[in-house]
Amino acid sequence: MADPHVISALERKRDEIEKAITAYERKLKQAKRDLSHVNASLRLFKIEGERLEFPVHVDIHRLFKRGELATLCKEALAKEGPLDTRELARRVVKAKGLDQSDDVLRQSITYKIVQALRLQAKRDKIVMLPKRKGVRVWSLIA
């Protein structure tokens, strides 16, 4: 029979190795997460051709001069009568000569239109009509 001292030493060594393996597995998982983040960042910066897989964040803060968005909307409303927010966004994208097929851009402009026209409505320059299919309709004051 083996010496109890040898058995206890081997068991300690086994526990030590198991702890080391667990620690290495944790580090390996973290390294894999880090690698996936780096790869995702690389894909964002190396995209060429079609950008359908990763739509870029659209910051339209500086796309319009002060008051330009409200002016474009008022012109469209004067020409065509009451329009909903989505229709106004299409008119604004077309008037600015932007990509009309870019849904992300159009959605960002839609949010900006709501903000701009709500302020105009508070100043009694535009009327907010009831929603049509869940979308706010806007009209100039008659």
Q: What is the pLDDT of residues 30-50, one digit of tens each?
A: 999 988 888 888 877 776 655
What is the separation of C-alpha 49 from the centre of its chain, rounded to a whole number of angstroms? 20
The span from the CA of 89 to the CA of 114, in Å, is 10
Range of the domain at 28: 1-54
Residues 74 and 132 in one domain: yes
- CB-based burial of residue 97 (10 Å sphere; 0-12 exposed, 13-18 middle, 19+ buried)? exposed
What's the burial of 77, exposed, middle or buried (CB within 10 Å: 0-12/13-18/19+)?
Answer: buried
% of the chain beyond a pLDDT of 70: 89
The answer to whether residues 75 and 44 belong to one domain is: no
How far apart, in whole angstroms, are the C-alpha atoms of residue 23 and residue 41?
27
**2 compared with 129, residue with greater pLDDT:** 129
The answer to whether residues 75 and 127 belong to one domain is yes
pLDDT at 64 over 80: yes
The pTM of this model reads: 0.58
Q: Residue 61 has what pLDDT? A: 75
Of 26, 54, 82, the residue that ends a domain is 54
pLDDT score for 102 = 84
Supply 8's token pair.
């206890």
- From CA 140, how far away is CA 125, in angstroms rounded? 7
Check whether residue 126 and residue 75 sit in a common domain.
Answer: yes
Name the domain count of the chain.
Answer: 2
- 111: domain CATH number? 1.10.10.10
Residue 63 lies in a domain: no
Per-residue pLDDT of 71-126, as tens digits, reads 999 999 999 999 999 999 999 999 988 888 888 888 889 999 999 999 999 998 89
What distance in Å separates the CA atoms of residue 103 and residue 5, rounded to the nearest whole number? Answer: 73
